[in-house]
Chain A
Amino acid sequence: MRRITELVAILSLILGVSVLLVLAASILLPGIEVRQLAFFYLYTTINPWFQNYTVNSPEAVTAIVWDYRGLDTLFETSVFYLALIAGLALARGLFSETPQGSFNEKTHGLTTIVKTVTRVTAPMIIAVGASIGLHGHLTPGGGFQGGATIAVIPLVFIVVYSTLFLIARGVTSNKMLVLRSIGLLGIGFTSIAAFLIGLAIGRFAYVFQNMPKPGAVVGLPADINGALISGTLWFFNLFEMIAVAAGFTIAFIILLLAGRGGSGGR
């Protein structure tokens, strides 16, 4: 009886808040300036007749995330990196990656059925993640989405095969940190790519510039041999995918190895 009363109370609270929100939404409409901004983003995201303002990406969300509001995303990426550094600092000394004993197919991990299924599905998951990430400028998705999908793989392998397997195959937190840093360096260089090209050929260019803009004619190519890459967007997505996948893997390795004296989960 008490549980039912609790449930009814929670449900009525949520329904009441929803009604309030609906009423508020019909009164508090966003102003006309905001609408013009949205119209501008959608109008210019891929517009061959408006060459000086377009991003040449049919996916407006990725265009906004990495081009119009690219600096926000850069800071989000650095926040994720700082969180990882904090995690590594906290777990310092709590885990060691020298494998205690070697990986044994018979004794470690789950049954053969689970292992075989994992082996078959792992390349598929990586392919889906890569296609989500690398087609981020064409279809819904992007670097973070693709990287998070790929990061499922190390977790599944740790659960199914044990951490010893990953460490024996060379997936250590130091290597992942290097990979993660390569991704971040790539993001950094991509964000100043147009600026560096401008320096090299002596033209004016902005930091975080993608396509040529009025007054700054330097820009990255919108396509390579007919395949649309939308200038910097493809490179941002690629490096973000690497950085996110490696970052999540570091987090798993820390969580699974810490506190067991390096023996790892079974």
Chain B
Amino acid sequence: MKVYAETIIYLIMAVVSLLSVVAVYLAIVERDLIKAVIYSALQSGFYAVLYYLLMAPDIVLVYLPVAVGLIPGVLIVLISKTERWEKE
């Protein structure tokens, strides 16, 4: 039974890391910078799940406020001072 639980955790980790790659891709190709910031925060959320499953709750606690709260906030403020759309 224990072996199954471990396998399931590894499977969740694999799925979450692949989803984080997709989020990074979307953040890079997105032309609307606000949406790109949101995709980047989504990727950080997936990373936080990964850190939790890798048994590093200390990192989760520093990662969530910084990567989901502070950095998107600062980036959105900076975008509001410059331009919202990325040029070719």
Instruction: Say whether A and B bind each other.
Output: yes
Per-residue 0/1 for A126-164: is the Cβ within 8 Å of any B Cβ (1 yes, 0 no)? Answer: 000000100000001110110011011001101100000
- Contact of A61 (CB < 8 Å), options: B25, B58, B78: B58
B29 touches A151 (CB 8 A): no
Given contacts A3-B29, A151-B70, A155-B73, contact A255 B78 (CB under 8 A): yes
Number of A-B contacts (CB under 8 A): 58
Q: How far is the CA of A3 from the CA of B25 in the complex (A)?
A: 10
Residue ranges of B at the interface with A (Cβ–Cβ < 8 Å): 18, 21-22, 25, 29, 57-58, 60-62, 65-66, 69-70, 73-74, 77-78, 80-81
Which residue of A is nearest B61, CB measured?
A: A145
- Contact of A7 (CB < 8 Å), options: B25, B57, B61, B69: B25
B70 touches A140 (CB 8 A): no
Q: Give chain A's interface residue range (CB within 8 Å of chain B).
A: 20 to 34
A159 touches B73 (CB 8 A): yes
Residue A123, interface by CB 8 Å: no
Q: How far is the CA of A265 from the CA of B66 in the complex (A)?
A: 21
Per-residue 0/1 for A168-198: is the Cβ within 8 Å of any B Cβ (1 yes, 0 no)? Answer: 0000000000000000000000000000000
A140 touches B61 (CB 8 A): yes
Residue ranges of A at the interface with B (Cβ–Cβ < 8 Å): 3, 6-7, 10-11, 14, 61-62, 132, 140-142, 144-145, 148-149, 151-152, 155-156, 158-159, 248, 251-252, 255-256, 259-260, 265
Q: Is the interface of B mostly helix, strand, loop or mixed?
A: helix
Q: Is the interface of A mostly helix, strand, loop or mixed?
A: helix
Say how far B22's CB is from chain A's closest CB, in angstroms. 8
- CB-defined contacts of B58 to chain A, threshold 8 Å: 61-62, 140-142, 145
13 CB < 8 A contacts A-B: A6-B25, A7-B25, A10-B21, A62-B58, A140-B61, A141-B57, A145-B61, A151-B70, A158-B77, A159-B77, A260-B81, A265-B77, A265-B80
